[in-house]
Structure 1
Amino acid sequence: MSLLRIDSSIRTQGSVSREVLDSLERSYLESDPGAQVVRRDLGLDPIAPTTWAAAVAAGMTPEDERTAEQREAVATAAALADELAAATAVVIGSPLYNFGIAAHLKSWVDLLITDARFAPGSTPLAGTPVVLVVSRGGGYGPGTPREGWDHATGWITRILRDVWGADVTVVEAELTLAEVVPAMAELRPLAAQKRAEAHEAAAKLGVALRAS
């Protein structure tokens, strides 16, 4: 068995999505210290913005006429597809940035879709458990002023579940900016509660993933 961990936060310190993924990975390894974890950090090692465009262009160009950049882009897409297809379980950190998906995570998805195995119409992750750890600086739940402003979680969930066929579980941590934004000071107890609940849920899922 192998667990593929995808981080996309641009922060290495103070990142809630990274912290919650740490809890999941820790419980996963505690249940079997010899288990394999493959890590891809899109925040620290992002995919070049031009790679997706080059891969798309390569798909419309005869193989013997492709440029070096196009060949490299196709090879990168294939490597990412190999990595994801080989995983028996996947965990993804998805922080909400400007009400949308992290650019690094979007680039990863876009490039994967250029590989025939992950193109729409295929279900390469059918039966594969995927845990999506979502972190949001504010509150976006029902009844809040910004209900419906999270344009990231629905999109990435649809890609994972409806396009690729994965069995998706979402873990959410909200109000993550309460500790640093004075105007949110009164929400700090609720923020701490939500963070603790996310860690607890992630730890349980780490054990469940290893047992599945």
Structure 2
Amino acid sequence: MATLLHIDSSALPQGSASRDVTAVFRKTWEEQHPEGTVVYRDLAANPLPHISATALSVGSVDPAEFTAEQRAAHDLRVELAEELERADAVLIGTPMYNFTIPSSLKAWLDQVIIMGRTAGEKPSAAGTPVTVVASRGGSYAPGTPRESFEFVTTYLEKVLTGMLGLEVDFIVPELTLAATVPAMAELVGKSEASRAKADEEAVTKAKALVARLAG
């Protein structure tokens, strides 16, 4: 039985494109693999603490000498690392906030990246497939005026593959603000097409991933 680690980071509980598309992926995953397990983290509803000096330095302290604060910081990082290590696949939903990822997702990354364990020469979850749904209100596609402002997929590709050794694939619904921003009214059709494509990719990729893991 395969385990899917599902992480959402949008601050919006409703009306979030990234949440909606990850929900399509997860629903398909569960339909294709009903005996499987889904571990879910909503980083907006239950935010993780940002990395602290205690969390960064606890690795150099003898566990027998931990203070209560050090023990809590250590245990949280181990819990997150174990979730990642147990997962057969990972699903991450992230909107673009000010050209990059939400701070809640950055907090998860900072906590879960542990040099010598999940990161380093032999990352403990290396090769695990990760599907990232990266939504954005406008378009930052190649050739668009704001292409160089895109620090969501560019950052996540580097950190997820380069540090954690994961295998990353992206689904990118664009122009998600077209229906609510009057100045973008002429882009509603393109927005709807992008969303339909994202939903289709979520279904296709979820089915392919279940088949791959079953094989």
Classify the TM-score, shorter chain: over 0.9
Q: CA RMSD in A?
A: 1.5
Q: How many residues align?
A: 211
Q: Match of 2:70?
A: 70
State the secondary structure of the residue aligned to 1:117. Answer: coil
Partner residue of 2:41? 40
2:33 & 2:108 partners in 1: Cα distance? 29
Residue 166 in structure 1 maps to residue 166 in structure 2: yes
SS at match of 2:126: coil
Partner of 2:13: 12
| Cα offsets for 1:43-97 (capped at 9, x unmatched) | 1111023x54321032344434433212101100000000110000111112111
**Residues 7-63 of structure 1, C-alpha deviation per residue, up to 9 Å, x if partnerless?**
1111110000010001111111111222211111111111023x5432103234443
Alignment of 1:1-212 (within 5 A): 1-49=2-50, 51-114=51-114, 116-212=116-212
Distance in 1 of aligned mates of 2:132 and 2:115:
22
What SS does the corresponding residue of 2:117 show, helix, strand or coil? helix
CA contact (8 A) 1:135 1:176 kept: yes
* Range moving further from structure 2, 2-11 or 52-61: 52-61
Report deviation, 1:163: 1.7
How far the C-alpha of 1:175 sits from its partner, in A, is 0.6
Answer whether contact 1:122 1:163 (CA < 8 A) is retained: no
Normalised by the length of structure 2, the TM-score is 0.92
Displacement of 1:115:
6.0
* 8 Å CA contact retained: 1:90, 1:129: yes
Distance 1:165 1:22 in 2: 25
Q: Distance in 2 between matches of 1:116 and 1:75?
A: 16
Q: Which piece of structure 1 moves more, 69-78 or 111-120?
A: 111-120
Query: Normalised by the size of structure 1, how large is the TM-score?
Result: 0.94
Check conservation: 1:81, 1:112, Cα contact below 8 A.
Answer: yes
2:162 is matched by which residue type in structure 1?
D
Runs of 4+ deviating beyond 3 Å? 60-66
Once residues 148 and 173 of structure 1 are traced to their aligned partners in structure 2, the CA distance between those partners, rounded to angstroms, is 18
Could you tell me whether the CA contact under 8 Å between 1:113 and 1:120 is conserved in 2? Answer: no
Distance 1:185 1:120 in 2: 47
- Identity %, equivalent residues: 44
AA partner of residue 80 (structure 1): L
Distance in 2, matches of 1:157 and 1:15, equals 22
Alpha-carbon distance between aligned partners in 2 of 1:65 and 1:2, rounded to the nearest angstrom? 35
